[in-house]
Every structure is written in structure tokens, then in C-alpha cells.
Structure 1
Amino acid sequence: MSDEPIVFAELPAKSGKLGRVTLDVPGTLNSLTLEMVDLLQNQLDRWANDDAVAAVFIEGSGDRAFCAGGDVQALYRSAIATPGGPCEYAEAFFAREYRMNYTLHTYPKPIICWGNGIVMGGGLGVMAGCSHRVVTESTRIAMPEVTIALFPDVGGSWFLNHMPGRAGEFLALTGASINAADALYTGLADRFIASEHKGAVLKSLQKQQWLADDSQANHGVVRHVLRPFAEQSLSSLPGGQVEPHIGRINSLCDGDSVHEIIDNILAQHTADPWLAKARDSLAHGSKLAALWIHRQLRETCHSSLREVFQAEIELATNVVRHPEFAEGVRALLIDKDRKPAWQFQRSRDVPDNLLDSFFTPPWPTNPLADL
């Protein structure tokens, strides 16, 4: 472990260089801080303008996690310092994190993400934005924001809406955990490669003849490198949960209203452990959050990527200024009593005007208006 939270390196190749990014805070499962967001943004900008660097490889240090999310405790401290807002640190974090996510999604050069271990929240935002997303046998993905009264942000409004059937809606409302097979099925990953091949993948990337002025050809080079490792790894791909359950998921999310969808999920009598855990997660989560999660997905369903991040910063700013978020983090991560005092026990108890307020701009100009 280095003194820096992110380690950057430039690895020589047959021609050109490979930029290497290592999130290096294993003690917090490589969770992102504002400092890390800024470091990553600045390095990505530099490499984008450096013809010698042809591609980027992003990984997390340690075997447990690529990145377990953002530093939620820092967001909590910001929220309780100024109830009702502005919450300066939290709002700066969201705005700069989403800008960095947008940079990843629109980056001209290939970015390979090695999504090994836990990939949650902000970590999934990083992985989802990369052009070549690799998952392994130990990958565990979740967006469990309903349990802390947040919402699947960092581009979740984009990638959840692009999943098959109603899978994105179900995962957002329940925070259900998924694995590598699920990531491939839902479009969150491009390749499954057994973790034992990581060193060989890096060596192969360094043996390539990269072209300084042809990023499209370099994307082809990455596919050429990753493909044989993926073919060798097929036998160790775990069984998924989303595809086998997609019919049930579509049925549960086929309600006349969001309240009916929530009722459908909560009313399940199932012996299936994955569905039961998803049900219980929604049952213990914030019903107010479930409503803004559902509405956010519906309102951004046909939005561009740029519009998605502009909508997310609006909702995130309003959410962090509201006490429901601080209470959710307190119960799960601060006091750890797991007994949040949610404002509403049932989704139908939430007044329409309160829900509307989370979708009302809290400032005259959107901080991401210039994306």
C-alpha cells in the first residue's frame, strides 16, 4: 500500500504506453473520496491528451474489492453539519464524481476495468463507464442505496434503464446483489475472465503494437487481447440469478403504480433465497427512497447520458439535504443499530408534493450544465 489513495503508472508496450490506475485504499475497500475523484479526473484528462498513452487499465488493490462505493460517512458528516443544505462537501463530491463518470463513458481511448471482488455504488459507476469491463468469479455487484435512502446514481439512471426487461427497476428497488454472470446478462460487463489471468492479461496488453492516432483500432487490440482469456475462463463462470428469474422479475414489476410494484415485491412468499433477500431489503429500506428511485428511472428512461447526469445531480443534491439520508446512513454505518427511523412506513403515506420537491432544481444553474 502506497501513501497515495490512487497509484498511477505508465507501462511500456511494444509501441506506445498503457496507463495503469490502481485504487489503493484496501482498508476501506478502495471507497472513493473527493480527493480520489479529483486525482482520477485529472489523470484521465492528461492521458486523453497524451498520444503516447494508447489505453488505460483500472483496478483495485487487494483481492476483496475493486471499489465498494463512495465514502458515505464523509457524505453523512456533510449532511448533518448543515441540515437542509447546502451540504458543501457532499454536493461537491456528487458533482465532481458524476463529471468523472461522464468522462469515463465518453473517453476516446480504450479503458479496461478489472472488476474483481466487491463492486458497489461509486465503484460500479467507474466500472460501468469503462469501454471494456471485465468481471471475475469473485465479482459481487450491488446498488443497495434504498437501504440508506439514496438512489442508484453515478449513471445508474442510464445503465439500469438499459437492462433487459424490468431487471434494472427490480435491482434498484431491492438493492439485490448480482455476480459476474448477471453482469454479463444485464450489460454491466463485457467479459468474464478468471482472476488468475490478470497478470497475463497485463503482460499481453504490454506486448501490443498500439497506434498513437487510431483509438478505434486500439479498441480492437483490447478485444483481441481479452477474447482468448475469456474463452479459457468459461468453465468457471458462476450461475446467475437475474436471467433465470427474469420472468418473475417482470411480473413483480408489472404494477399499475409504484405502490403496487412495491406491494408485489413485499408480498412474495418464496423459498428462493435470492428473491427473499431482495424482498427483505426493500422491506427494511426507505419507502420515500423507493419512490424517488422509481420516479428517477421513469423520468430518465429516454434521456441522453448528459441529461442523466444532470438529473442525478439534481436529485442527489435534494436527497443529501433531506434528513432521511442522514438517518439511513446513521442506522447502517454509523451507530450500526440497523433500526432506521424512516419518515414513512408505507409508500402510500408519502405526500405527492414532498416527492415532487426532490425533482425541483435547488439552484438556478445545474452544476453539470456544461457537460
Structure 2
Amino acid sequence: MSESLVLFNELSTRDGGAIAIATLNAPKSLNALSLEMIEQLSARLDAWAEDDRIKVVWLEGAGDKALCAGGDVVALYRAMTEAHHVDEAAAFAETYFTAEYRLDHHIHTYPKPLIVWGNGIVMGGGLGLMAGGGQRVATESTRIAMPEITIGLYPDIGASWFLNRMPPGVGAYLGLTGAQLNARDALDLGLADRLIPHARRQEVLDALVDADLGAPETDLRRVLRDFEARDEAPQAQVMPRLDKIQSLVDAATVTEAVTRILDDDDADEWLAANRQRLAVGCPMSAHLVWRMLARHRHASLAEAFRDELNLSVQCCRHGELAEGVRALLVDKDKNPRWSHVDVASVPERDVEDFLSSLWSPQAHPLRDL
């Protein structure tokens, strides 16, 4: 494995401790999260957790465009299309998603203060890294989305859990439409804790180096608070439209919710873009979004990750994900040929097939979470 996929550095602090920095280092792919990157980052986070000298961990992406644009779905596509048998493709998917979700869960439960510098694009698997951070920093250019409906997947990486913790209806709307959020939205919806201009990144690190981190959480908050600039946040998109969003997804079934969104003729540009994304998205994905949010409304984070692993591997066993990635990222014809014409035509038995369990509870790869 190439060590350069994730860069690791430690900055000595004036009190004899250290700040550990992990930088996803694949800027050409907007730091898309490969299996090698996941394995490298996981191993180093484990080591830093046991190192008494490390007081704070800082996670960021190389370049100025993205923390991480998502998981390495092109590698999943290759595994699906080059495999001689569906079980062969599923084996790679199981390895990849198990490693990714274990890393995400570790970030959520990390025993030391962990800052995630969420600059630029933070989508899909990138949001999986940011969502669990102890201090999640958005910048003026932060752009967050869970756009899986465009590729035949669904909001995973713990989203079945954290989308349920937003105002009623918002998580379903975001999952169905792949709506893009800015820094103000991230603060409003609990996906970020602070807004700090990206240009001040080095100043923040210098201040942390000079701080007395004897009480890391308290001192860390004080330093970050000094650099906050919420008045520089872009205009909110979600909260001013909250009543509208909630009315659109106030439905008993996903078919009704999708119909309400698509039939809406509001000329609002943000709503219209979301409507168009849903219109060309994967009908099966819409069902999976709806079902997973219902299944995990009162579930634990670990339960959500276990269920997501099952569904994500199932998505690789079926054809929608391969077709979606082909159309958007491989052939780039943006003309996916989904298995169903629309959401209303998806049979319940097909949805149940996706949701059927691949493992017993005793054999589940994430049973120990």
C-alpha cells in the first residue's frame, strides 16, 4: 500500500503533548475514500488512541476543494462488473463496507477530541467521516450531500441514524432528493459544530500548538471559539423552507411522498434542482431511503451500521448500483437504465429482497460494535 494515500503528521505542543494530523491525500479524485485509505486511517487512529502523548486528532483532505467526495464507488463498480460470479463481487463489497463503517463508528466513539476540517465537498462517504467528529468544522465553501439516489445506492455511512435526528421530514427529503447543503445548513441540521474560514486553518493549528491542552476538550473549544465566524455563513437553504419541505414529505408511503415532490411546481431554484435529481434518480433507492429511515427511527448507531452493511452488500449483488455508477461516473452518459420505470412500479417483493439478511446476528461482520 502507498503511504501517500493518507498523510500523517504530529505537531508537538508547548505542554509536551502533540496534535496528530491525518490528511486524505487523493486530491485529483477529491479525496474519494478507497479501501487502502480506510485501512491506513483506521490503523493510525487506533495507534493514536493508545498514545498518551496525542491530545487532539485533526482530520482533513488535501487540496482546497474537498474533505472527501465520497466512497470509491468506481472500485465497487469494477468489482461488480469484472466478477465471474455475484458472490465474488459481494465479497469485495463486504470487505469495503465493513472497513468503512467500522472506521465511521470508531470516529463517532473516538476516546480523544477529534476535529474534522470539513472544507469544500463533503459527500457520501466523506460525510461518514465528518458526522461523528467531536468538533466538526465547516468553512465558507462546505458543500454537503447524500446524493446516492443518483447512483442506485441509498444514504448509508450511519445516515439511517443521523438523518433521523434532524427536524421531522428533513432527513427523508434530503435522502430522496440528494439536496446539497451549505455551511449554514450544516450548522442548522447538526452536521457541523462551527464555521471557521478556510483561510484561517493554519492559524487554528498554530493556536492549538500554543494552547495548554491539559484539559483537551475545554481548551480545544476555547481555541476554536476564537476563530468562529458564523456571520460569514452563506444564506440558509433548509430552515427557511422547512414548512415546505415537511409538507412535501408528509406522506404515508414513499410513492406518495415522491409524487408530492415531483408534482410541486414551485419555481424556487433549490427546490427545482432537488426535484430534478429525484426525477432521474433510482426508483429502488427511493424505497430504500424511506424504509431505512423507518427501520432506524429509534435504533442505535451500531444497529444502523449493521443494517446498512447488509443493505449495501445487497445493493452490490443487484444491478442498480453498477448501472448508476456506469451512467454517472464511467461512461458518463447520464442515462441510467433502472430496473423499474418509476417509484410506483417497484414491487414490494423486490424491496424485501434487498432488505433480506445475509448473515445471522452471530455471524454479522459488525456484531462487535
Tell me the TM-score range normalised by the shorter chain. Answer: over 0.9
- Give the counterpart letter for 2:223 in structure 1: V
Deviation at 1:235, TM superposition (A): 2.9
Q: SS at the partner of 1:55?
A: strand
Aligned to 2:309: 313
Structure 1 distance, partners of 2:116, 2:76, is 26
* 2:81 equivalent to 1:85: no
Q: Which residue of 1 aligns with 2:219?
A: 221
Query: Are 1:272 and 2:273 matched, yes or no?
Result: no
* Aligned-partner residue type, residue 94 of structure 1: F
Q: Does 1:145 align with 2:148?
A: yes
Q: What amino acid is aligned across from residue 68 of structure 2 in structure 1?
A: C
Q: Could you tell me how far apart the structure 2 residues matched to 1:157 and 1:140 are?
A: 20
SS in 1 for 2:164: coil
* Structure-1 separation of matches of 2:342 and 2:280: 11
- Given the alignment, which residue of 118, 136, 141 partners 2:139? 136
Q: 1:12 to 1:141 in 2, by over 3 A?
A: same
Shift of 1:362: 1.6
- AA paired with 1:92? T
Matched, 1:208 2:206: no
- SS of the equivalent of 2:60 reads strand
1:11 aligns with 2:11: yes
The 8 Å contact of residues 194 and 230 in structure 2, kept in 1 or not, is answered as no
SS at match of 2:127: helix
CA distance in 1, matches of 2:7, 2:342: 46
Aligned counterparts of 2:112 and 2:164: Cα–Cα separation in 1:
25
Offset of residue 220 of structure 1: 1.5
Answer yes or no: is 1:366 the counterpart of 2:367: no
8 Å contact from structure 2 (residues 59, 114) kept in 1:
yes
The 3-state SS of whatever aligns with 2:165 is coil
CA deviations over 1:326-360 (Å, ceiling 9, x no partner): 01111111111111111111212111111011111
Q: What is residue 293 of structure 1 aligned with on the other side?
A: 289
Please give the alpha-carbon distance, in whole angstroms, between the structure 2 residues aligned to 1:256 and 1:3: 50
Aligned to 2:40: 39
Q: Deviations over 1:33-79 (max 9, x none)?
A: 00000001000100110110011011111111111011111010111
2:50 maps to amino acid = N
Q: Deviations over 1:174-195 (max 9, x none)?
A: 0010100000001000001111
SS of 1:58's partner is strand
Paired residue secondary structure (2:57): strand
1:3 Cα deviation (Å)? 6.2
Distance 2:79 2:166 in 1: 33
Contact map agreement 1:20 1:57 (CA 8 A) in 2: yes
Aligned to 2:23: 22
State how far apart, in whole Å, the 2-side matches of 1:302 and 1:85 are: 32
Shift of 1:205: 0.8
Tell me which residue corresponds to 1:237: 233
Q: How many Å separate the matches in 2 of 1:47 and 1:67?
A: 22
SS of 1:4's partner is helix
Question: CA contact under 8 A between 2:185 and 2:236: conserved in structure 1?
Answer: yes
- RMSD (Å), alpha carbons: 1.2
Deviation at 1:158, TM superposition (A): 1.5
Contact 1:114/1:133, CA 8 A, preserved across alignment: yes
Find the aligned partners of 2:322 and 2:19 in 1 and give their Cα distance. 41
Give the Cα separation in 1 of the matches to 2:162 and 2:204: 26
C-alpha offsets along residues 139-186 of structure 1, whole Å, 9 cap, x if unaligned? 111110000000111111111111122111100110010100000001
Alignment check: 8 A CA contact 2:113 2:217 kept: yes
1:270 alignment partner, SS class:
coil
- C-alpha displacement of 1:129: 1.2
CA shift at 1:86, angstroms?
4.2
Structure 1 CA distance for aligned equivalents of residues 252 and 70 of structure 2? 33
Aligned residue type for 2:87: G
Residue in structure 1 matched with residue 196 of structure 2 by the alignment:
193
Unaligned segments of structure 2, at least 5 residues: none
- The one-letter amino acid of 2:278's match is L
Question: In the aligned structure 2, how far is the partner of 1:257 from the partner of 1:301?
Answer: 16
The answer on whether the counterparts of 1:74 and 1:90 sit within 8 Å (CA) in structure 2 is no
Distance in 1, Cα, partners of 2:195 & 2:306 = 32
Correspondent of 2:258 among 258, 262, 286: 262
* SS of match in other structure, 1:66: strand
Contact kept in structure 1, 2:71 and 2:126, CA below 8 Å? yes
Query: 1:214 matched to which residue of 2?
Result: none
Cα deviations by residue, 1:15-42 (Å, 9 ceiling, x for unpaired): 2110101111111111110000000100
Deviation at 1:210, TM superposition (A): 2.0
Provide the C-alpha distance between the structure 2 equivalents of 1:278 and 1:85, rounded to a whole number of angstroms: 35
8 Å CA contact 2:213–2:220 kept in 1: the answer is: no
Stretches of structure 1 that go unaligned for 5 or more consecutive residues are 212-216
The residue number in structure 2 matching 1:284 is: 280
Of all paired residues, the percent bearing the same amino acid is 47
| 8 A contact 1:165–1:246 mirrored in 2 | no
